[in-house]
């Protein structure tokens, strides 16, 4: 998907638009009345009422869950003091939200398939219009305000390196990105009769297939044994938290070790080869990694100083 737009047919690609921050999605979309837009936008007379009602309900459930998920991650950890119990409560709510999203995605997939089939039957020409754009205007992307999730959980006593190992932040960001896109789409859905049937067909297909075929299968469930989704990642984090050292000192030592490893890689020109090989210019990605680790160490040191 190109930056700043979602105008492509979903072939299960990652939805990672990062062009700008949309800081108050849950609040602004609620104010825009997306619920009424869904009802009016799906009221296509050539689609049977029961099929329209089924998809309206499924999209409504997804919209409510999207608002909850975005508010949950944006509001964590709240104001100090940051007790470990607050982090545990966040993980419980995040886990429950993931289970609900899985259920909603399954319902949405079935309802969307029925609706699209009815739409194709009502407008036979749709079957040849595979180059249509979805209805929503370009999406500006979504980014969490404030500190990264790793630092937020670190404030609540969870080890920074354990959150990294559990792939928690990247999965949360991917799910939030698509849910913010969903709210953007629902909030800009024109009434039936105004929107071309082909654009409605394409947009519904993209939202449903990306939710079930990519977000749930890659970021809520596990993509593979080494790349956990949110549910497995939460379980991993709990296990690491119970078994291993979670001190801030151990996190700082770990981050410094990662920085030193990146420096050694930079000294070899970015190539992980044996010592003695000729050194070249430091690739951009290595330089970026060095900066990232410097920033991480500085953030962890600030936490220690704050204590």
- How far is CA 249 from its chain centroid? 30
Residue pair 80/36 in contact by the 8 Å Cβ criterion = no
Helix, strand, or coil (residue 176): helix
Burial of residue 41 (number of CB atoms within 10 Å: 0-12, 13-18, 19+)? buried
* Beta carbons within 8 Å of 141's beta carbon, 6+ residues apart: 4, 17, 18, 19, 20, 21, 22, 177, 180
Residues 227 and 256 occupy one common structural domain: no
Residues 35 and 173 occupy one common structural domain: yes
Q: Is residue 17 part of a domain?
A: no
Residues 235 and 265 occupy one common structural domain: no
Instruction: Give 7-57 pLDDT, tens digit per residue.
Output: 333 333 333 332 333 334 444 444 458 999 999 999 999 999 999 999 999
Q: Which domain holds residue 271?
A: 247-306
Residue pair 255/160 in contact by the 8 Å Cβ criterion = yes
Residues 169 and 235 occupy one common structural domain: yes
Instruction: Give 64-75 pLDDT, tens digit per residue.
Output: 999 999 999 999
Q: Is residue 68 part of a domain?
A: yes
Q: Which of 196, 211, 241 is the last residue of a domain?
A: 241
Residue pair 17/3 in contact by the 8 Å Cβ criterion = yes
Q: Is residue 104 part of a domain?
A: yes
Residues 251 and 156 occupy one common structural domain: no
Residue pair 51/122 in contact by the 8 Å Cβ criterion = no
- pLDDT at position 106 is 97
Residues 188 and 80 occupy one common structural domain: yes
Write down the pTM of the prediction.
Answer: 0.83
Residues 201 and 278 occupy one common structural domain: no
Does the structure show a pLDDT above 90 at 242?
yes
Residues 115 and 59 occupy one common structural domain: yes
Count structural domains, the chain: 2
Distance (Å, rounded) from C-alpha 24 to C-alpha 139?
14
């Amino acid at each position: 998907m190109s930056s700043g737009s979602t105008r492509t047919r979903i072939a299960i690609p990652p939805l990672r638009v990062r062009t700008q921050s949309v800081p108050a999605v849950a609040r602004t979309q609620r104010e825009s009345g997306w619920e009424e837009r869904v009802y009016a936008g799906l009221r296509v007379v050539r689609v049977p009422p029961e099929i329209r009602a089924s998809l309206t309900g499924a999209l409504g459930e997804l919209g409510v869950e999207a608002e909850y998920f975005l508010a949950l991650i944006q509001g964590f950890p709240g104001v100090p003091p940051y007790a470990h119990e607050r982090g545990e409560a966040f993980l419980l709510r995040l886990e429950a939200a993931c289970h609900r999203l899985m259920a909603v995605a399954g319902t949405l997939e079935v309802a969307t398939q029925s609706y699209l089939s009815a739409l194709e039957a009502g407008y036979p020409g749709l079957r040849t219009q595979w180059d249509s754009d979805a209805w929503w205007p370009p999406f500006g992307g979504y980014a969490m305000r404030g500190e990264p999730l790793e630092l937020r959980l670190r404030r609540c006593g969870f080890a920074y390196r354990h959150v990294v190992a559990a792939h928690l932040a990247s999965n949360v960001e991917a799910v939030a990105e698509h849910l913010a896109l969903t709210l953007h789409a629902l909030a800009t859905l024109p009434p039936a009769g105004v929107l071309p049937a082909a654009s409605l067909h394409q947009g519904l297909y993209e939202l449903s297939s990306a939710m079930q075929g990519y977000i749930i299968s890659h970021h809520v469930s596990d993509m593979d044994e080494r790349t956990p989704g949110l549910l497995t990642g939460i379980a991993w984090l709990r296990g690491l938290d119970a078994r291993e050292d979670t001190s801030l000192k151990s996190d700082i030592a770990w981050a410094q070790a990662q920085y030193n490893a990146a420096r050694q890689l930079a000294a070899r020109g970015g190539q992980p080869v044996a010592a003695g090989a000729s050194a070249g210019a430091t690739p951009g990605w290595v330089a970026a990694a060095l900066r990232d680790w410097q920033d991480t160490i500085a953030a962890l040191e600030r936490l220690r100083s704050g204590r």
